[in-house]
Amino acid sequence: LSELEALMERMKRLQEDKEDEEASQEEMATRFEKEKKESLLVISGGIGALPVPFHLGVAFDDELVSTDVSRYIEDPGFGYKDFARRGEDHLPTFRAQDYTWENHGFSLVNRLYSDIGHLLDEKFRMVYNLTYNTMATHEDVDTTTLRRALFNYVHCMYGIRYDDYDYGEVNQLLERSLKVYIKTVTCYPERTTKRMYDSYWRQFKHSEKVHVNLLLMEARMQAELLYALRAITRHLT
């Protein structure tokens, strides 16, 4: 099977499995913890990775762009850091059910800056729901499962868990090279290269791959807002 056909087959199989039997809350929690720990081992802009002997067969280090971004920022040392140290047994988890954008963040940010919540919410929804119902040359395809996996994987990298989502879908739909690309674009965008962009979903249209980038950026922004707004809420109360 081609990469595209294999992905579509996995999407179909996931839907059938979901109709037959749903995973228990305990199983979904275990799958989230596994995915969260694994995301710490994904190396951005490199061979992305579980420990040796696992090998992706995708190397990007030779194409990393040595752009000096310090000229554009006030604090050159400011940047992404993993939310927990590798090797820790108990990694912190932000349970989305305890503080959601829809039920908490949206109203708070509107209080702080009138109407900005509506604008942000419209932006999140528009990017998340954007679809032509196509996958490369295939039409009338429901891509909801795939879009949700991309969005929720970014939140998983930030330690955010949705109790009603089965993170086993992430592992089945997002291959290792794509996870490397996701972490690089989301956490270290200055390291992204065209070779990395070309390395995944080779049969997809550019518009579909650009939509992936938009999803990743909006997911990151929402994750950052959730942490910031939760901290503000705790301070106010």
Q: Which of 196, 217, 209 is nearest to 47 (CA)?
A: 196
User: Taking 50 as the threshold, does the pLDDT of residue 171 lie above it?
Assistant: yes
Q: Which tops the pLDDT comparison, 183 or 87? A: 183
Find, among 48, 43, 13, the residue nearest to 168 by Cα: 13
The pLDDT > 70 percentage for the chain reads 84
Q: pLDDT tens across 5-28, in order?
A: 999 999 999 988 877 777 888 999
Other C-beta atoms within 10 Å of 95: how many? 12
The letter for the amino acid at 7 is L
Query: Among 180, 165, 152, which residue's Cα sits nearest to residue 41?
Result: 180
Mean pLDDT over all residues of the chain? 85
The secondary structure of residue 23, as a DSSP letter, is P
pLDDT at 23: 81
Cβ atoms < 10 Å from Cβ of 112: 11
Q: For tokens 């705790």, name the residue.
A: 234
Quick one: pLDDT at residue 101? 96
Q: For 202-216, how does the pLDDT look when each residue is reduced to its tens digit (9 = 90+)? A: 999 999 999 999 999
Measured at the alpha carbon of residue 77, what is the angle toward residues 92 and 72, in degrees to the nearest 5? 120
Between residues 114 and 76, the one the model is more confident about: 114
Among 47, 51, 50, which Cα is nearest to 60's? 47
Peptide bond between residue 92 and the one before it cis (omega within 30 degrees of 0): no
Binning pLDDT at 50, 70 and 90, where does residue 79 land? confident
233 pLDDT above the threshold of 70: yes
- Work out the pLDDT band at 1, boundaries 50, 70, 90: low
What pLDDT score does 87 carry?
64
Contact 130, 211 (CB under 8 A): yes
- For residue range 82-114, what is the model confidence (pLDDT) as tens digits? 766 666 667 789 999 899 999 999 999 999 998
Question: Tell me, what's the pLDDT at 74?
Answer: 78
Global pTM reads 0.85
Q: Are the CB atoms for 196 and 181 separated by under 8 Å?
A: yes
Please, which pLDDT band fits residue 80 given cuts at 50, 70 and 90?
confident
d(CA 154, CA 220): 6
